[in-house]
Structure 1
Amino acid sequence: MKAKILVVDDETDLELLIRQKFRRQIREQQYEFVFAYNGVDALEKLQQNPDIDVVLSDINMPEMDGLTLLIKLGELNPLTKAVIVSAYGDMDNIRTAMNRGAFDFICKPVNFEDLEVTMLKTLKHVDQLRETLKAIKENDILRMYVDESVLKFMDRREFESSLMSNENIEVTTVFIDICGFTAITERENADTVVKLINSYFDIMVKEIIAQGGYVDKFMGDAVMAVFRGEYHLDRAIESALAVRNHIEATKNDLSDDRTYTPQVAIGINTGEVISGNIGSATLRRLDYTVIGDAVNTAQRLQAVAQAGQILIPESAYQLVKDSFRCEPLGELRLKNKAQPVAVYQVIE
């Protein structure tokens, strides 16, 4: 069940930070956030959204501060619990907040891991209160839920069977290249080269699968991956960031006593493609893959990306600019493209 959380803070950059830090939980519908900019605005949002579970509130705000809001909240909905999130972490403010019904207190700057743990603890408390109230009103047996792992397995089977048909679909394609690996192949023996590249590919594959994507093919020292379904572009970028971070944290000793720290160059694009069984019937070699301009553009972006860069076109940037921090690189000339393409680099 999705938890609904009201964030009350006059600092608008907190809203952007929360949307970025909890983007996975938001798209997976674990959390729904509502935002207000002072206590008066918060009371209006609470009346409009009576199903809010938890309130995260600052103290120092115009019109109505967080400590006054705590009193009003207790009168409006005693089942909704508040956590104070403030830079004013002195004992007087903490004691006043607790005496007025705050469930917990977090000091700024916010540690988002601590914030999520506190949110989960508060949500659990709210759920217990509601279950207790429900038990008093009625003595029903709790509804039994289908195990989530079974549902995920069914979704995966449906996804795999859908690959067996030729169709036009919306996907995100990712090309990941290991930078400078050709030089390694020229200096190291075959066993070392294969061992290294397989270890890098294994890191990539794990991160791709973790975000619900699949590896379309291995091409030399590069990987092509495809993401489809809900939020396929977001999940593809999440995967690319994880691959980059894990690959760059890897170090390998080479035969000439040097240490090799691999880096990747990544191109990502989203759009309609043709998915089908493509290959040669004569050779009896057919692969289920995707083709189209969106795929070609992703590969061209990877080709111009520098080590450590994750590049997306402006069309993709417009879809994810609220969830990821990106920097514009201007217009770049891509192979076989008549016009320059506006390109952005994903930072985090």
Structure 2
Amino acid sequence: MAKILVVDDEADLELLIKQKFRRKIRENVYEFVFAQNGEEALLRVKEHPDLDIILSDINMPVMDGLTLLSHLPDANPMLKAVVVSAYGDMQNIRTAMNRGAFDFVVKPVDFEDLELTMEKTILYVKQLQDTIRAIKENNILKMYVDENVLSFMTHKEFENSLLKNEVVDATVLFIDVCGFTSITENVPANTVVNLINGLFDKIVTEIVAQGGHVDKFMGDAVMAVFRGDFHLDRAIDAALAVNEQLNNVEEITTGDKSYKPQIAVGINSGEMVSGNIGSESLRRLDYTVIGDAVNLAQRLQSAAKAGQIIITEETYHKAKESFRCERIGEVTLKNKAKPVTIYQVLE
């Protein structure tokens, strides 16, 4: 349905419009809103943000049609106006067009010509609305989908690639924002979301800087995957950088509550399965990694205290030439039959 604002000070025009377009009004093809001058029209634009087009006279009291045209870009830049006026001289037509009019119809009105002009204008506006909507949806999509995936989606092999599962050698990084749950019980929801999103931005910046891919956000934790050359070194560098970033963050105060952000990190390397995991019937699949190496990284994170970056002894032997680490000892981890020796990465 198209929503049309008619602006004219002729008292009988509203009745005439409703008579001429009664069938399309009844069939919900058109909906009309009426105003008697430009000033009133601007109020109607504010009241009806879903308006598609305007049919406006020129000569009206309070505010004329040409002045109205100059205000429309600020009131609603998506609206397009068709001027319907007895003042059809070239000067008025040129002034109307220069102020953004889409078309010009001369009175006395030929309603067949007017409807064709309306249909043309409505089609243009709908196409414009679809374009803007697509841009917005694309920007929203970018918030949820990796940029490389988005660019690849235009390729023909994209659909087949979604079915591809493989075993990869990679490093998984789990970062938990410590103590954040307690603050959620004492501050407004919007404040909580803004705080955690601000902290996540700092975390993500360092992950991306080291060539990592943010796999998912889980409550107040982040899971990231590093592949390619030196994936373990880059994951540890990212964790150290995040630790340093948050150490420099001042204490956050909300109301009478104070909070100093810290992280607990688990890192593990090894073989893992990469593919689309989820429910096809629900149409929700995550392109992610699974396997014992991934589970162990999460268990290490749960064993880490605030400010600690925890790795296994096996990972320590891979990283000890590049990083200074300290042995913590043995811990019992979920689903591990034997205690696991863990180390803390210091620098």
Find the counterpart in structure 2 of residue 214 from structure 1: 213
Find the counterpart in structure 2 of residue 173 from structure 1: 172
SS of the equivalent of 2:261 reads: coil
1:226 aligns with 2:216: no
Whether the 8 Å contact between 2:252 and 2:260 is mirrored in structure 1 is: no
SS of the equivalent of 2:233 reads: helix
Aligned equivalents of 2:184, 2:250: Cα separation in 1: 16
Give the alignment's TM-score, normalised by structure 2: 0.53
Q: Give the Å deviation of 1:258.
A: 4.2
> Cα 1:182–1:336, aligned 2, differ >3 Å: closer, same or farther?
same
Find the counterpart in structure 2 of residue 272 from structure 1: 271
Find the counterpart in structure 2 of residue 60 from structure 1: none
Q: Deviations over 1:116-156 (max 9, x none)?
A: xxxxxxxxxxxxxxxxxxxxxxxxxxxxxxxxxxxxx99x9
Find the counterpart in structure 2 of residue 110 from structure 1: none
In structure 1, give the amino acid aligned to 2:208.
I
1:248 aligns with 2:277: no
SS of the equivalent of 2:254 reads: coil
Find the counterpart in structure 1 of residue 316 from structure 2: 317
> Cα 1:253–1:237, aligned 2, differ >3 Å: closer, same or farther?
closer
Whether the 8 Å contact between 1:163 and 1:276 is mirrored in structure 2 is: no
> Cα 1:254–1:206, aligned 2, differ >3 Å: closer, same or farther?
same
Find the counterpart in structure 1 of residue 198 from structure 2: 199
Q: Give the Å deviation of 1:250.
A: 1.3
Larger CA Rg, structure 1 vs 2: 2
Aligned equivalents of 1:222, 1:163: Cα separation in 2: 29
Find the counterpart in structure 1 of residue 85 from structure 2: none
Find the counterpart in structure 2 of residue 115 from structure 1: none
Q: Give the Å deviation of 1:157.
A: 7.6
Q: Give the Å deviation of 1:254.
A: 2.5
Whether the 8 Å contact between 1:332 and 1:341 is mirrored in structure 2 is: yes
Q: Give the Å deviation of 1:251.
A: 2.3
In structure 1, give the amino acid aligned to 2:319.
V
Whether the 8 Å contact between 1:313 and 1:341 is mirrored in structure 2 is: yes
SS of the equivalent of 1:283 reads: coil
Aligned equivalents of 1:227, 1:327: Cα separation in 2: 23
Whether the 8 Å contact between 2:268 and 2:312 is mirrored in structure 1 is: yes
Aligned equivalents of 1:269, 1:239: Cα separation in 2: 14
- The number of equivalent residue pairs is 194
In structure 2, give the amino acid aligned to 1:268.
I
Find the counterpart in structure 1 of residue 116 from structure 2: none
Find the counterpart in structure 1 of residue 288 from structure 2: 289
SS of the equivalent of 1:254 reads: strand
Whether the 8 Å contact between 2:272 and 2:293 is mirrored in structure 1 is: yes
What runs of 5+ residues in structure 2 fail to find an aligned partner?
1-146
> Cα 1:157–1:311, aligned 2, differ >3 Å: closer, same or farther?
farther
SS of the equivalent of 2:288 reads: strand
Give the alignment's TM-score, normalised by structure 1: 0.53
Whether the 8 Å contact between 2:203 and 2:242 is mirrored in structure 1 is: yes
Q: Deviations over 1:54-95 (max 9, x none)?
A: xxxxxxxxxxxxxxxxxxxxxxxxxxxxxxxxxxxxxxxxxx
Aligned equivalents of 1:216, 1:163: Cα separation in 2: 18
Whether the 8 Å contact between 1:300 and 1:334 is mirrored in structure 2 is: yes
In structure 2, give the amino acid aligned to 1:251.
E
In structure 2, give the amino acid aligned to 1:232.
H
Whether the 8 Å contact between 1:207 and 1:243 is mirrored in structure 2 is: yes
In structure 2, give the amino acid aligned to 1:332.
V
Q: Deviations over 1:89-119 (max 9, x none)?
A: xxxxxxxxxxxxxxxxxxxxxxxxxxxxxxx
The RMSD of aligned alpha carbons is 2.3
Whether the 8 Å contact between 1:264 and 1:307 is mirrored in structure 2 is: yes
Among all aligned residue pairs of Structure 1 and Structure 2, give the percentage whose two residues are the same amino acid. Answer: 60
Aligned equivalents of 2:205, 2:252: Cα separation in 1: 23
> Cα 1:262–1:281, aligned 2, differ >3 Å: closer, same or farther?
same
Moved more, 240-249 or 293-302: 240-249
Find the counterpart in structure 1 of residue 333 from structure 2: 334
SS of the equivalent of 1:289 reads: strand
Aligned equivalents of 1:282, 1:229: Cα separation in 2: 33
Q: Give the Å deviation of 1:191.
A: 1.0
Aligned equivalents of 1:238, 1:254: Cα separation in 2: 29
In structure 1, give the amino acid aligned to 2:191.
T
Aligned equivalents of 2:257, 2:215: Cα separation in 1: 33
Aligned equivalents of 1:225, 1:163: Cα separation in 2: 21
In structure 1, give the amino acid aligned to 2:286.
D
Q: Give the Å deviation of 1:252.
A: 4.4
1:301 aligns with 2:300: yes
